Chain A
Amino acid sequence: MFEHRNVNKRLEKPSISPNEAADDIDDLELVDRARAGDDEAFRALFERYHRRAFSLANGVVRHRDDALDVVQDAFIKAHKHIGKFEGNSSFYTWLYRIVMNLSIDHIRRTKRSRNVEFNDALGHSESDSVGEESLLPRVLDENPGKSLVRKEMREHIGMALGELSDNHRAVLVMRELEGLSYEEMAQAMGCSKGTIMSRLFHARRNMQQRLLELMGGERDLGA
């Protein structure tokens, strides 16, 4: 059975614990304290989520210094506007929206959209259609997760991710890292659910195609 919600459990744990007590306090309590001016509480939130936020930003902007800028700006923005956080969603959901918006703004600003919407340009950028392409009924020779410890494998996957358009990569990273629903991604990216689905389909299809080219496939039943 396929795993329906691939939330990255590893990244949910705080990367550094400032102290034992902070770990035992839930996010909303920390938010309340931060709102009241308790900087240690805000720091505890930072320690809990900065690594995860960096993974998201780095997956989207694909430049470590730029991703650090994005995460830093996101936390400063979160601190500045924490009074507006109503607690309708989790603190991290609120934070990742800030991170995603800043990442997307960063991409737009730096005009790295060299391969912008190659697939979308074929007629489904803003439509709900996934077009005529189909997923490939092939799997890789190696388990990509386990093989990633090899430098060569990392480079291949990095290359394949880098060749995606920025929007395709953004939805793929959001989905695979955070396990967001189509609706949540649509809200975060300010587009329709159908567009998200189209982008995700083509992002995966292109990744699949490129990884098979780079790493080889073992079973091919014909597309």
Chain B
Amino acid sequence: MTTYTDILPQLLETLKPYAKKVGGLKETTDLVSELGLDSLQVMQVLLKIEDQFDISIPLNNLPNIRTVKDLGQEIETLLKG
């Protein structure tokens, strides 16, 4: 079973291209306010992550996803089904 610990390094790698403005990506990095992603970029990132992990992230859950950690935990939950 894929756990958060397995997911985190893969997620950080996927987000790396979007983190050029900040010094480094951490679990606590805020996806919007720190990475400066606009709504379109957020959607592009999510589509990429959906394909990477073969999951579908409901729009309903997005308000609860603020940080890299939140996103990782959401992926873990969805992978558990």
Q: Do A and B bind each other?
A: no
Residues of A within 8 A of B (CB): none
Residues of B within 8 A of A (CB): none
